[in-house]
Homo-oligomer: A and B are copies of this chain.
Amino acid sequence: MKDYRVLLVDDEPDILEFLGYNLKKEGYQVTLASNGHDAISLARETRPHLIILDVMMPEMDGIETCAEIRRDALLKETLIVFLTARGEDYSQIAGFEAGADDYITKPIKPKVLISRISAILRRSKAAEAEKNVMTLKEFSIDKERYVVIKDGNDILLPRKEFELLSFLASRPNRVFTRDEIFSTVWGNDVIVGDRTIDVHIRRIREKLQIANIKTIKGVGYKFET
C-alpha cells in the first residue's frame, strides 16, 4: 500500500473513471471531484497529498482552482499536477504562475501518469525527509525548524513537549508505556517523577487543541489517527 491520498479533478466522467481506476490499482487512495468547487471542499476534508487537476473545466477552471488552493492556509502545501491538452500553451504559463508542481499532457497513458505521480510524490517525500518533516493528517511536525504546523500556522512547543509529541506521532495508534516514553524522550539515566509526563501531555493537548492523544489507563499513551 502506497498510502497516499490523491484527489482527482476532471469534468469528464470517463477520464475520472479511467484515471481513478489506474491510480487505485496502484494502491493510491483516490477521491474524485468533477469541478473546482467540489475539489476544494473535498480537499479540505480529505487532505490529499496530491491533487490532479484538469485545466479545462467549465465554471471554475484548473488555474483558478489551483490559485484558490494556494491561498488556503490548510491546503497551500498540497502538491498539484495539471492535466493539460497538448498545445494549450497558455495554460502552462498561467499554471506555473498559479503554483502547479508538475504537468501531464493529454492524451494520458496510464504508465506515464503513474510514473510521474510516483516520481513527484517520491521527490516531495525525499524533500520532506531531508527537511525532517513528518506529515500527519491533523498537522505536520517539522523537526528542522522545530515547529508543529497546524492549519497553516506554526505552533511553537518547548523542547520536551515537542519531543514527546514527535515520539508519540512517530508511530500513530501504537500505545507507548510510560517507560518507553521516559527512556526515549528523557533517556535512561534521567529520573523524573511520574506526573511529569502527564503535565507535558496536558500542555500538548491544550496547545494543539487536539483530542488525538489518548490515555490507556494502566498502559500508557497513544497518538490516535
- Supposing A145-B173, A146-B175, A175-B144 touch, asked if A159 and B96 sit within 8 A by C-beta, the answer is no
A residues 1-51 in Cβ contact with B at 8 Å: 20-21, 24-25
Category for how many chain A residues contact B: 20 to 34
Minimum distance in angstroms from A117 CB to a CB of chain B: 17
Complex Cα spacing A222 to B144, Å: 10
Specify the chain B residue showing the minimal Cβ separation from A156: B216
A residues 95-109 in Cβ contact with B at 8 Å: 96-97
- Does A97 contact B217, Cβ atoms closer than 8 Å? no
- Does B144 contact A217, Cβ atoms closer than 8 Å? no
- Does B96 contact A24, Cβ atoms closer than 8 Å? yes
- Does A219 contact B24, Cβ atoms closer than 8 Å? no
A residues 193-223 in Cβ contact with B at 8 Å: 216-219, 222
- Supposing A144-B175, A175-B145 touch, asked if A21 and B219 sit within 8 A by C-beta, the answer is no
- Which of B97, B158, B159, B222 is within 8 Å of A21, CB to CB? B97
Residues of B within 8 A of A20 (CB): 97
